[in-house]
């Protein structure tokens, strides 16, 4: 992939602007460790709705939209379950933890002029309080509330790139589940697997990094990238 030099900060966007880079990130298992939040919310679903499926059955499908997961699990009364899950998730948001080095990594990309976006299947009511704690200026946040299909479709990634005015070839998506990898492939966006997250990648084997610090070392946002591969 050819990566053009970053634009100067003062250059206004033009119709032909293709000089910016974008770092798109998944939320759960990439930006934040939200497993304690999800586990608490699922326990409440079990208590209130008589759902006997264990948390690991839910967790297997992370990355997909909640209604999609309920359908795959065969959960009845999915709308009532969603209301319980969302209310409990918002109440338990304080249980989420930053992954070590994630905030420093985000700031390094912002300082280098990259455009940052979040692409998540988490609904906006649950995503917003979690993202607020990172204190990072994400230029776009794409959730299932917007237009288009949800992951593993390419739509949310492509819509985020429209928001950011960045070409797919100049973007990277960092995810932790196979649906993230599929979404990126279908969008024509380079994919990097966050090895600190919850899932395993599938074939073809993607670039995998073990920590946010390693992602910084791989993409070197502060350097002048002229020719070569971002991944
Ligand atoms: Mg995830």
Q: Give the dihedral of Cα atoms 180, 184, 190, 193; nearest 10 deg.
A: 10
- Omega before 152 within 30 of 0, i.e. cis: yes
Residue 14 Cα, ligand 1 centroid: separation in angstroms? 33
Q: Are 119 and 142 in contact (CB under 8 A)?
A: yes
Q: Mean pLDDT, the chain, as a whole number?
A: 90
Residue 131 Cα, ligand 1 centroid: separation in angstroms? 14
Q: What are the tens digits of pLDDT across the range 143-158?
A: 998 899 999 999 999 9
The whole-angstrom separation of Cα 115 and Cα 153 is: 22
Residue 121 Cα, ligand 1 centroid: separation in angstroms? 8
Residue 175 Cα, ligand 1 centroid: separation in angstroms? 6
The predicted pLDDT at position 211 comes to 98
Of the candidates 124, 131, 128, the one whose C-alpha atom is nearest the C-alpha of residue 66 is 124
Q: What are the tens digits of pLDDT across the range 162-210?
A: 999 999 999 999 999 999 999 999 999 999 999 999 999 999 999 999 9
Ranking 4-8, 132-136, 165-169, 199-203 by mean pLDDT, the lowest is 4-8
Handedness of CA 61, 67, 70, 74 (dihedral sign): negative
> Average pLDDT of 108-123?
95
Residue 197 Cα, ligand 1 centroid: separation in angstroms? 7
pTM over 0.75: yes
Residue 176 Cα, ligand 1 centroid: separation in angstroms? 5
The predicted pLDDT at position 224 comes to 44
> Average pLDDT of 26-49?
97
pLDDT above 70 as % of the chain: 89
The predicted pLDDT at position 19 comes to 73
Q: Say yes or no to pLDDT of 72 above 60.
A: yes
Residue 162 Cα, ligand 1 centroid: separation in angstroms? 22
The predicted pLDDT at position 135 comes to 87
Write out the two tokens for 155: 């739509």
Q: Please report, for residues 35, 59, 197, the alpha-carbon distance to residue 39 in angstroms, rounded to integers and kept in the order given.
A: 6, 9, 15
Residue 65 Cα, ligand 1 centroid: separation in angstroms? 11
Residue 63 Cα, ligand 1 centroid: separation in angstroms? 5
Q: Give the dihedral of Cα atoms 145, 200, 203, 66; nearest 10 deg.
A: -20
The whole-angstrom separation of Cα 210 and Cα 111 is: 23
Of the candidates 136, 133, 142, the one whose C-alpha atom is nearest the C-alpha of residue 180 is 142
The predicted pLDDT at position 1 comes to 45
> Average pLDDT of 69-92?
95
Q: Hey, how many other C-beta atoms are within 10 angstroms of the C-beta on 37?
A: 23
The predicted pLDDT at position 28 comes to 97
Write out the two tokens for 171: 């973007």
The predicted pLDDT at position 228 comes to 45
Model confidence band, residue 129 (pLDDT cutoffs 50, 70, 90):
confident
Residue 37 Cα, ligand 1 centroid: separation in angstroms? 13
Residue 194 Cα, ligand 1 centroid: separation in angstroms? 9
């Amino acid at each position: 992939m050819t990566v053009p030099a970053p634009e100067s900060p003062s250059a206004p966007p033009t119709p032909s602007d293709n000089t910016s880079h974008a770092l798109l990130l998944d939320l759960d298992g990439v930006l934040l460790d939200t497993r304690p939040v999800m586990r608490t919310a699922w326990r409440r679903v079990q208590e209130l709705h008589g759902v006997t499926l264990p948390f690991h059955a839910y967790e297997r499908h992370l990355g997909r939209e909640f209604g999609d997961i309920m359908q795959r699990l065969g959960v009845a009364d999915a709308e009532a379950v969603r209301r319980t899950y969302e209310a409990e998730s918002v109440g338990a948001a304080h249980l989420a933890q930053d992954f070590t080095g994630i905030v420093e990594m985000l700031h390094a990309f912002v300082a280098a002029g990259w455009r940052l976006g979040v692409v998540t299947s988490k609904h906006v009511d649950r995503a917003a309080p979690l993202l607020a704690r990172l204190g990072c200026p994400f230029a776009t946040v794409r959730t299932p509330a917007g237009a288009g299909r949800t992951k593993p479709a390419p739509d949310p990634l492509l819509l985020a790139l429209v928001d950011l005015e960045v070409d797919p070839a100049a973007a990277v998506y960092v995810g932790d589940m196979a649906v993230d990898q599929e979404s990126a492939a279908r969008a024509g966006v380079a994919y990097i697997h966050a090895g600190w997250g919850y899932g395993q990648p599938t074939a073809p084997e993607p670039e995998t990094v073990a920590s946010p610090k390693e992602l910084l070392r791989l993409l070197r946002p502060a350097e002048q990238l002229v020719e070569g591969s971002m991944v």
